[in-house]
Amino acid sequence: MNVQTPPEKLTAKDYASDQEVRWCPGCGDYAIVRAMQKTLADLQSPPEKTVFVSGIGCAARFPYYMATYGFHTIHGRAASLATGVKLANPDLDVWVISGDGDSLSIGGNHLMHVLRRNVNLQYILFNNEIYGLTKGQYSPTSRLGTRSPSTPLGSVDAPVNPASFALGCGAKFVARSIDSSQKHLPEVFARAHTHQGASFVEVFQNCIVYNDGVYSSFTDKGAAEDNQLIVEHGKPLVFGKERDKGIRLKPGAMELEVVTVGKNGITVGDVLVHDETNKLAATLLVEMARPAFPVAIGVLYCNPSETYDGAVRNQVELAQSKGGKPDLNALMRSGPTWTVD
Amino acid sequence: MVSTAAIAMEEPVREEVEDVVIRFAGDSGDGIQITGGQFTQTTALAGNDLATFPDFPAEIRAPAGTTFGVSAFQIHFGSRDIKTAGDAPDVLVALNPAALKVNLGDLRDGGLIVADTGAFTDRNLKKAGFDENPLDNDSLDNYRVVAIDVSKNTLEAVKDEGLSQKEALRCKNMWTLGLVYWLYDRDRKPTFDWLTGKFKSRPEIANANIAAVNAGHAFGETMEVSDGGVAYTVSAAEIDPGLYRTVTGIEALSWGLIAGSQSTQLDLFFAGYPITPASAVLHTLSRLKEFGVITFQAEDEIAAVCSAIGASYAGNLGVTASSGPGIALKTEAIGLAISVELPLVVINVQRAGPSTGMPTKTEQSDLHQAVYGRNADSPLAVIAAKSPADCFEVAIEAARIATKYMTPVMLLADGYLANASEPWRIPDATAIDASPVSFHTDPDDFHPFLRDETTLSRAWAVPGTPGLEHRIGGIEKSYSTGNISYGPENHQKMTDTRHAKIDGIAKDIPDQTVELGSQGGKMALVGWGSTFGPINRAVQILRADGHDVSHIHIRHIWPLPANLESLLGGYEQILVPEMNTGQLLTVLRSEYLLPAEGVNKVSGQPFKVAEIVDAVRSRLEK
């Protein structure tokens, strides 16, 4: 009699490839790859059905460190490659790994279209607000005045807000997390994975060499609680060490404000409750900027609709169910023909 | 000039002619392409060999009556083998003054002009740039002219069908078709059947068009041309027995891709971005979903090629198509496919350039782009189609090479081939040689750059295969492990291997043959792509005149056939006619150090046979 051995449970280590990691010591990317390996173990994702597709940049080295299928492609085009992979084989679980330059400069067009099409994949944007691999030029997410080799007097062009861009493109899932948040990050990755459609996750990632501390005002231990708003669906938007600060709609205006519960007659009932299906609320939350506001973290928007790859497959299946067995000979003989004896 | 008094005539004595060239021309809204298509169908059914050349403006709705809004359709048919759309029309149907203005220069001396006097108004004459009506002066004395108010005659013919004036006038093209049918003794029934089918839900429109065809035909029966007969007959050509249809390059290309996916046993993934004249492949394949074809209209050319590479990575036959400017945009991604060694078919329906150039006009000036046009040492395979029907075979061959050698293949067609049509003996799809792909599934000692010893092709292991999880990318890879490698010796070895792999394809393609003529001799005309027809006909004519001239047509542009060098060495002179400034010429000279010469034309129009004949004569008879 054969004894069925239960399939071995995969651990985070099983998702790590044998390749030596080549990021700078202390780079936030180490934490993200660790969180991803934990996520896949939590999900028990079959490694053979998991594909990481990346473009160019520091983040784009990511697939080499995962013991899954991986494709390190060309600058800005990972979303397009990944769209082809998913359309060709919808059974594959596709993750796109990209950075702020790769996604929002050279690849901005493809990011827009993969989101609006709602291709069923996870798009993880590592935002460090700098070009690391090319040695520190300012990026499309760099703040005004960023001094870099190409902007020695400070950058003069306004940055793009990735989450806001994603919402504008029609993304149905928009979330944020932080490289060092090793509990929160796998949870967000898992939510992105569960969501059917294009799931956009912006990860605030520290570049220790060229932009160290760019997020420290809300990621440092002492500052985090007062400067992060971790949103959860159905829960009030409260934050702060004392959990006494909240977000509400400013009376008489289409804008948010920070209030303190227990002051000026404000109660928890006055604070907005997070509804992740509400796009208008998400639009306001992603625009909250320090120092006036905390930075919104978590699943900011999730409102699933039909996936592109699903709809494409449906059309093919419909054509096949209607047309019977496809016959190239019959196709070539359709329309007027004649016989020469 | 035609006598306006209609005189009842007996069935005329028809003059037998070997071949005829007719050009229909009018406003882009006049239904010229439909008229040409119907004449083509009818002529194919009559058993003639034929070739067509649709020539339409880039403007979608150019202002009526302007010279840049003229649309034309040329057909060459005959009782002999027809290889080109013909040099000079014997008949020009001009539905307005602009059509006459643009096309008159091509008409042969003594040719017949059918002009719609109803459209030769002062306004239209002025728009076309005529100071006075050419139908009223002696400017057309070199030609025979049938000037007739087609508009008025059409309205009269369809008046019982209850159409609006606008709808009724749309039948004008069918009236002229009826007249030309009479001139060349064509059967009207296939057109009637087509009209009845097309306007099933509006029988009054079908009936009006049929009435217009009949009225035009009846006019022919009763007209008199002052200086002799105009009624002809063209006997059926000697054609190999079999079942035939007419086919355009776009159709043959699209069906060939499906055949290629079937012969390799892969699903077909096609991605494109709208561009003239390649978009029609996307349109055609989008309607063939029952074959399991996935079509993807991408956001740009780059996304199109990248998604095709992604699909190939996932185990499909990834294909993209564009024209020169779009291919330029795809170039970096093609380099990726070369580096990661994935199959990819890239179709370039060439058009006149540089830059936007002349999108609806043909050229074959992207050969260097195909063979050399990438950064770094990045070889790939290049093949070219010679005729509309040949696109079918070439597409299958592209799929075979791409998958067998894990390489991008550039398939060169051009705007002329894409839109032109010819009779095609329909192949049996079940008899196409199978070249099935087998994916690598064995995890023992696997790495993604394991190579086949003969082809040097790497193992194709697709995501979804347990135990073969691996990473690939555009960074140089170790020959022995597939992992990233910056090793100097390794890069030399990988570069050499990529070259050797593509060079090795030369052993897997047919030896170069002589299309027409002898192995060795005084002169070889060496061509590629859509110049096949005019070169071949020119060589026929020259040989009939006793010249020792042969025709060599190259399908495999890269790598070149293994025996080509020795074959070309057997001729005293090599002449390379091309619709560019000498691109194959440069390749042949650099590869073989041959003193070859070019015959070059970049006017946006295909070669005329006479141009090639003259070029050869000027060299042989000096």
Contacts of A17 in chain B (CB under 8 A): 471
Are B314 and A316 in contact (CB < 8 Å)? Answer: no
Contacts of A314 in chain B (CB under 8 A): none
Closest CA to B312 of B340, B343, B333, B338: B343
The per-residue pLDDT of chain A, averaged, comes to 96
Through-space distance between the first and last CA atoms of chain A, rounded to whole angstroms = 69
Whole-angstrom Cα distance, residue B412 to residue B404? 19
Are B294 and A316 in contact (CB < 8 Å)? Answer: yes
Judge whether A168 is closer than 8 Å to chain B, CB to CB.
Answer: no
Nearest CA to CA, how far is A6 from chain B (Å)? 17
Strands (E), B434-558: 471-473, 521-528, 549-554, 556-558
The chain B residue lying nearest A86, using CA atoms, is B311
Residues forming a β-bridge with B295 = B270
Are B292 and A89 in contact (CB < 8 Å)? Answer: no
Judge whether A332 is closer than 8 Å to chain B, CB to CB.
Answer: yes
Are A337 and B244 in contact (CB < 8 Å)? Answer: yes
Torsions phi, psi for B6 (to 5 deg): -80, 125
Judge whether A211 is closer than 8 Å to chain B, CB to CB.
Answer: no
Contacts of B298 in chain A (CB under 8 A): 80, 83, 113
- Burial of B44-61, coded b for 16+ CB within 10 Å and e otherwise, reads bbbbbbbbbbbbbbeeee
Question: B283: part of which helix (H) or strand (E)?
Answer: helix B279-286
Nearest CA to CA, how far is B310 from chain A (Å)? 4
Residues forming a β-bridge with B22 = B75, B91
Are B310 and A81 in contact (CB < 8 Å)? Answer: yes
Contacts of A77 in chain B (CB under 8 A): 302-303, 306, 333
Closest CA to A198 of A278, A305, A101: A305
Are A49 and B190 in contact (CB < 8 Å)? Answer: no
Would strands B242-248 and B421-425 be described as parallel, antiparallel, or unpaired? Answer: antiparallel
Q: What angle do CA B105, B111, B116 make, to 5 degrees?
A: 80
Q: Which SS3 state, helix, strand or coil, does residue B406 take? A: coil
State pLDDT tens for residues A102-131.
Answer: 999 999 999 999 999 999 999 999 999 999
Nearest CA to CA, how far is A256 from chain B (Å)? 36
Closest CA to B438 of B418, B459, B453, B452: B459
- Burial of A22-34, coded b for 16+ CB within 10 Å and e otherwise, reads ebeeebbbebbbb
Judge whether A336 is closer than 8 Å to chain B, CB to CB.
Answer: yes
What letter would DSSP give residue A105? I
What is the ipTM, given to two decimal places? 0.97
Closest CA to B469 of A58, A16, A186: A16
Q: Out of A113, A332, A339, whose CB is closest to B303?
A: A113
pLDDT along chain B (622 residues), means of 10: 44 87 92 94 94 83 88 95 94 96 95 95 96 95 94 95 92 96 95 95 95 95 67 92 95 98 98 96 97 98 98 98 98 98 98 94 96 98 97 98 98 95 95 96 97 98 98 98 97 98 98 98 98 97 97 98 98 98 98 97 95 96 76
Contacts of A71 in chain B (CB under 8 A): 310, 313, 340, 471-473
Per-residue confidence band for A1, with pLDDT thresholds at 50, 70 and 90: very low
Q: Which SS3 state, helix, strand or coil, does residue A184 take? A: helix
Q: For position B228, what pLDDT does the model report?
A: 58
Are B306 and A84 in contact (CB < 8 Å)? Answer: yes
Judge whether A7 is closer than 8 Å to chain B, CB to CB.
Answer: no
Q: For position B59, what pLDDT does the model report?
A: 75
What letter would DSSP give residue A211? S
Q: For position A335, what pLDDT does the model report?
A: 85
Are B269 and A84 in contact (CB < 8 Å)? Answer: yes
Nearest CA to CA, how far is A326 from chain B (Å)? 5
Contacts of A53 in chain B (CB under 8 A): 310
Are B311 and A84 in contact (CB < 8 Å)? Answer: yes
Judge whether A59 is closer than 8 Å to chain B, CB to CB.
Answer: no
Q: For position B2, what pLDDT does the model report?
A: 43
Residues forming a β-bridge with A173 = A199, A302
Contacts of A81 in chain B (CB under 8 A): 306-307, 309-310, 313
Whole-angstrom Cα distance, residue B304 to residue B326? 10
Whole-angstrom Cα distance, residue A232 to residue A268? 15
Are B307 and A17 in contact (CB < 8 Å)? Answer: no
- Mutation target to probe the B interface, by most B beta carbons within 10 A, among A338, A339, A341 is A338
Question: B339: part of which helix (H) or strand (E)?
Answer: helix B324-340
Percent of chain A with pLDDT over 90: 95
Q: Which SS3 state, helix, strand or coil, does residue A217 take? A: helix
Are A337 and B245 in contact (CB < 8 Å)? Answer: yes
Interface subset of A 99-158, CB within 8 angstroms of B: 109-110, 112-113
The chain B residue lying nearest A60, using CA atoms, is B473
Whole-angstrom Cα distance, residue A168 to residue A172? 10
What letter would DSSP give residue A104? I
Whole-angstrom Cα distance, residue B264 to residue B402? 10
Contacts of A110 in chain B (CB under 8 A): 299, 302-303, 306
Nearest CA to CA, how far is B522 from chain A (Å)? 38
Whole-angstrom Cα distance, residue B80 to residue B186? 17
Whole-angstrom Cα distance, residue A75 to residue B553? 40
Residue B277: asked if its preceding bond is cis (omega within 30°), the reply is yes
Please determine, for residue A297, whether its predicted confidence score (pLDDT) is greater than 60.
yes
Judge whether A291 is closer than 8 Å to chain B, CB to CB.
Answer: no
Nearest CA to CA, how far is A327 from chain B (Å)? 8
Whole-angstrom Cα distance, residue B391 to residue B399? 12
Nearest CA to CA, how far is B41 from chain A (Å)? 8
Whole-angstrom Cα distance, residue A285 to residue A264? 23
Are A320 and B292 in contact (CB < 8 Å)? Answer: yes
Q: For position A5, what pLDDT does the model report?
A: 64
Whole-angstrom Cα distance, residue A248 to residue A259? 7
Q: Out of B41, B464, B466, whose CB is closest to A89?
A: B464
Are B521 and B571 a contacting pair, CB within 8 Å? yes
Q: Out of A46, A84, A339, whose CB is closest to B310?
A: A84
Q: For position B595, what pLDDT does the model report?
A: 95
Domains of chain A as residue ranges with CATH: 12-235+274-309 (3.40.50.970), 240-272 (no CATH)
Through-space distance between the first and last CA atoms of chain B, rounded to whole angstroms = 43
Would strands B317-322 and A256-260 be described as parallel, antiparallel, or unpaired? Answer: unpaired
Are B32 and B73 a contacting pair, CB within 8 Å? yes
Are B314 and A110 in contact (CB < 8 Å)? Answer: no
Are A92 and B463 in contact (CB < 8 Å)? Answer: yes
- Mutation target to probe the A interface, by most A beta carbons within 10 A, among B265, B290, B375, B391 is B290
Contacts of A318 in chain B (CB under 8 A): 289
